[in-house]
Amino acid sequence: MEKLDDRLSQTQTDIIRWIKKERYWLSYLLILCFTSFAYELFNFTLTVDEEFYAERSGPILNNEWVRQGRWSMYLLSYLYPINPIVPFAPLFFTLVCSALAFSIVVRLFSSNRTINDFWAAPLFIACPTLYYVYSFNTLNFGIGIGFLAGALAIYLFTFRRGMSRWFVPAILIAFSIGIYQAFLPWILVLFCFSALRLIFESKVTFKEILKTFISFIGLLVSGLVFYYLISKGFRLALKLNSNDYIDGFVKYNLSLDYLLQTFKQTLYSMKNHYLGKNDIYDQNILSLLLLFFTTLLSLIFQVLKTKQPLSTKLLGLLIVLLILATPFSLNLISAGVMPTRALLAVPLVLSGFVFLSLSASSIVLRFLIILLVCATTFQFITINNRFAFADYISWQADRALSMRILNRLDELDYGQENKTNSKRVYALVGNISRPKYSLIVERQTIGASFYNWDQGNVHRVLSLMRSMGIDEYEPATLEQQRSIMQFADTMPIWPQAGSVALKNGVSIVKLGNYTNSQLVPLCAGTLPCALCRIIYNPGKGGIRILDEDSWVDKDKRERVFQLNDNLSEAQFLNATYKIEGDQIVLNASTPGTQIILPQIKPLNVDRVLMRIVLDAPQDTTMFLFYRYPGETDYTGSNQIQVKLYKGVNNLLFSVPVQLLEESLRFDPGNIPGIYQIIKLEMYKPNENSL
């Protein structure tokens, strides 16, 4: 016991001595942290996912971490006995830990402490890619601890001997991955920088570097084994199964098409993140683009200039390439697409490149890099706070929309259903589509609306309302939603009059057309209806799919168009056709087959009925594109996608006449093959048709 007391006392003394020695460095890091994320740190914004945590804290919610394989977050959740949806504390804690982590990271970049530490810090601390994960108060308090644990693991493996070089780092690696699986590439990148340090600072052979890599792979495998065993133990102890959240990102297969697509998407993602593109940063950061190429070329030159054997130099170049690619390694199992919040190693790569490049002998080059770092840091800080403000504005816009909807709901005549001791039933149809507004940045989860996320999720919307103190509604059951599907499909779209209505005791709010995520549960295990064929219908053009022969009087219809009679005026693209009897046989040799229908002369009705009878070679998707008057292009938002089954498909649509005046585009299917258009005609509806 005395030995333990002495050791703890010595450790305490060492920590105090280190803090005193590094007080200016630590103060700089903390000021940088707080400046970079000041708005998010000192204000509160409710963002997607946080609404669930805000009202469902406790063991049940903590168990969800274990089901996702994030058992470390399960343990860390007890740091916040209520829940982490509170201002300041979660992000403050992670920023402090991130600053401490970088103090370890720079010791793996180089054995010497120089001014380079200060210039590299902003790229690690302030990079806006971190905001994508920091904006989640549900997770961000663990991210800083993950940085610290991962950095400490590589530090101990690099500079210690004995058990502290193997067992403790393996546990720390397992703990980091248990916080967020995306820490695995981060740890590998940090080790690569540590290996690069050996090439710059000592005389090493190819075999020695290779031996170090093999040792690290052994450590990494040990960490993964610990992670798996502990994760399995938590699930057994808590009697939990894994959920499909992580599995949803895994889309791996061994086909050549998959590999080519993955490679293409991964390169695109690397370009956007490393070169400061608008898709990620909401603006093109020219200084980051110049900084990246300047530091990369400088680093390559320095590797080649070292007094190492040629084989070691080539290995050094390979390590640089590995550092570049590793942050995106998880893209290989996700078809080349990973959310930015999972690319934790991007800031580490940028800061490491800056740090090592500042060792160049050219004063002009060092001065140029410093200028670019200053310009990039200023833009990073601006972007981070702009992102935080966008989240706040979006939240306030959702609250204002909620109040407008509630005012409409209060105007409904509930009659005998208005009981003070029971909740009203709420159904959400479609999702919101906001016009572009400069203050609301929409990038992945940043600036996301509760009324848009998950393609319109009634549970999120009602959770948002409860955060506003409104607990008068409960979500409609599947049976209740099915009872109002046909009625809701005919309702106008918000904010038009009639977009909020009462039917069969259900309060219906129609923000748009039914989305695929709303239709899938409604159509599961039930008799198929026309609406269940809809895959994607984002626009507000008013095209509706009708049940076959519903509301249609076959004996009293007046035909206004038939494709067979207007073939000379229609355009067939990427396909050839021939006439066989009354049918049009379409040979679609490529997926991009299009038929542009001729314009229809003005009619004295608002809508027409369009019947399409199509024989498809296999299950596929049919597209209908439309244009508004004055538009020249068919845009992605002005379309409706319909599921086709192999064989004959009998489809009926209600189409606003104004869309026919600009011509429709009909894409029979997204796969090549032989399609038979048995019928494509339009006719005026009778009084019972619509």
Highest mean pLDDT among 100-104, 518-522, 631-635: 100-104
The helix (H) or strand (E) run that includes residue 163 is helix 163-179
Same domain, 355 and 427: no
d(CA 233, CA 229): 6
Same domain, 187 and 333: yes
Q: Is residue 437, in this structure, part of any structural domain at all?
A: yes
pLDDT of residue 582: 86
Listed in sequence order, the residues at least 6 apart from 513 whose beta carbon sits closer than 8 Å to its beta carbon are: 429, 430, 489, 493, 534, 537, 538, 539, 540
Indicate the average pLDDT of the chain: 88
Q: Is residue 677, in this structure, part of any structural domain at all?
A: yes
Predicted confidence (pLDDT) per residue in 328-355, tens digit = 999 888 888 899 999 999 999 999 999 9
Listed in sequence order, the residues at least 6 apart from 231 whose beta carbon sits closer than 8 Å to its beta carbon are: 66, 69, 71, 178
Same domain, 185 and 46: yes
Q: Is residue 670, in this structure, part of any structural domain at all?
A: yes
pLDDT-based confidence at residue 81 (cuts at 50, 70, 90): low
Same domain, 513 and 643: no
CB 76 within 8 A of CB 315: no
pLDDT of residue 525: 73
Q: Which domain holds residue 412?
A: 406-526
Asked which of 360, 388, 417 is the last residue of a domain, the reply is 360
Q: Is residue 398, in this structure, part of any structural domain at all?
A: no
Using CB atoms within 10 A of its CB, is residue 551 exposed (0-12), middle (13-18) or buried (19+)?
middle
Same domain, 111 and 231: yes
- Phi, psi (5° rounding) for residue 614? -135, 130
Same domain, 575 and 498: no
Task: Find, among 339, 289, 349, 517, the residue nearest to 443 by Cα.
Answer: 339
Predicted confidence (pLDDT) per residue in 300-331, tens digit = 999 999 888 899 999 999 999 999 999 999 98
Predicted confidence (pLDDT) per residue in 537-556, tens digit = 887 777 888 886 555 545 55
Q: Is residue 454, in this structure, part of any structural domain at all?
A: yes
Same domain, 411 and 351: no
Asked which of 526, 541, 562 is the last residue of a domain, the reply is 526
CB 623 within 8 A of CB 667: yes
Same domain, 479 and 568: no
Q: Is residue 118, in this structure, part of any structural domain at all?
A: yes
- Distances in Å between the Cα of 595 and the Cα atoms of 20, 168, 609 are 75, 65, 18
Asked which of 300, 334, 360 is the last residue of a domain, the reply is 360
Q: For position 576, which CATH number holds?
A: 2.60.120.260
d(CA 276, CA 615): 48
Q: Is residue 305, in this structure, part of any structural domain at all?
A: yes
Same domain, 219 and 94: yes
pLDDT-based confidence at residue 423 (cuts at 50, 70, 90): confident
Question: Percentage of the chain with pLDDT > 90?
Answer: 51
Same domain, 430 and 572: no
CB 105 within 8 A of CB 116: no
- Distances in Å between the Cα of 561 and the Cα atoms of 598, 600, 640, 658 are 10, 8, 21, 15
d(CA 53, CA 70): 16
The helix (H) or strand (E) run that includes residue 223 is helix 206-238
Same domain, 491 and 560: no
Predicted confidence (pLDDT) per residue in 17-60, tens digit = 888 888 899 899 999 999 999 998 888 888 888 877 777 656 66
| Least confident stretch, 77-81, 116-120, 333-337, 417-421 | 417-421
Q: Is residue 376, in this structure, part of any structural domain at all?
A: no
| Structural domains of the chain, count | 3
Same domain, 205 and 309: yes
pTM of the model as a whole: 0.85
Q: Which residues of 56-79 are buried (b: 16+ CB within 10 A; e: fewer)?
A: ebeeebbbbbbbbbbbbbbbbbee
pLDDT-based confidence at residue 530 (cuts at 50, 70, 90): confident
Given strand 500-503, what is the order of strands in its sheet? Answer: 473-475, 424-429, 506-510, 500-503
- Phi, psi (5° rounding) for residue 84? -80, 5
Instruction: Report long-range pairs for 238-246 (Cβ below 8 Å, ≥24 apart).
Output: 238/63, 238/66, 240/63, 240/66, 240/67, 241/67, 242/67, 242/68, 242/69, 243/64, 243/67, 243/68, 245/67, 245/68, 246/68, 246/69, 246/181
User: Of all residues in the chain, what percent are helix, strand and coil, respectively (each to 5)?
Assistant: 55, 15, 30
d(CA 420, CA 408): 19
d(CA 302, CA 199): 10
Task: Find, among 141, 116, 187, the residue nearest to 344 by Cα.
Answer: 187
